[in-house]
């Protein structure tokens, strides 16, 4: 009997590897957790014992995401006034979804010179 292909859920190491693969990204510990920054501007964090990520997300989109997939996305109380959303790593479909989420957040924080230099990362997704 052939073993079924199991897609391992993304974890903190996947977040770190993918985030740091994005241009001009650095990792810095802040508020006792890993944060990822592009050109010095934060675009992702690994809170909650590294079981979730917090990423930039326009408030309108964020609210739609939370309503559409509450098992996956939520808004932390202390971030409600900011354009950030949380995503549970265990609820993500696969590494591709994680990469899309991180790249989208990166685009929102990246300066125009990086967006122009890396057109394959494209403009922020319009949903």
The per-residue pLDDT for range 40-49, each reduced to its tens digit, is 999 999 997 9
Quote the pLDDT of residue 123: 61
Element (H, E) at 33: strand 33-38
Measured CA to CA in angstroms, residue 70 lies from 37, 53, 101 at distances of 26, 15, 16
Q: Can you read off the two tokens belonging to residue 28?
A: 């810095």
Q: Can you read off the two tokens belonging to residue 113?
A: 């010179």
Let me know: does 98 contact 18? Beta carbons within 8 Å: yes
Q: What is the pTM of this model?
A: 0.89
For every one of its 127 residues, what pLDDT tens digit does the chain have, with 9 covering 90 and above? 444 445 578 999 999 999 999 999 999 999 999 999 999 999 999 997 999 999 999 999 999 999 999 999 999 999 999 999 999 999 999 999 999 999 999 999 999 999 999 988 866 554 4
CA distance 13 to 34: 11
DSSP state, residue 123 = S
CA distance 22 to 68: 28
């Amino acid at each position: 009997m052939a073993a079924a292909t199991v897609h391992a859920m993304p974890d903190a190491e996947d977040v770190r590897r993918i985030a740091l693969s994005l241009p001009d990204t650095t990792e810095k510990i802040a508020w006792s957790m890993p944060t990822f920054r592009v050109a010095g501007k934060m675009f992702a964090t690994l809170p909650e014992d590294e079981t979730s990520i917090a990423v930039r997300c326009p408030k309108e989109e964020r609210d739609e995401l939370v309503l559409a997939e509450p098992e996956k996305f939520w808004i932390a109380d202390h971030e409600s006034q900011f354009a950030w959303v949380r995503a549970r790593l265990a609820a993500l479909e696969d590494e591709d979804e994680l990469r899309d989420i991180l790249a989208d957040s990166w685009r929102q924080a990246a300066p125009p010179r990086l967006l122009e230099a890396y057109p394959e990362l494209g403009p922020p997704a319009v949903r």
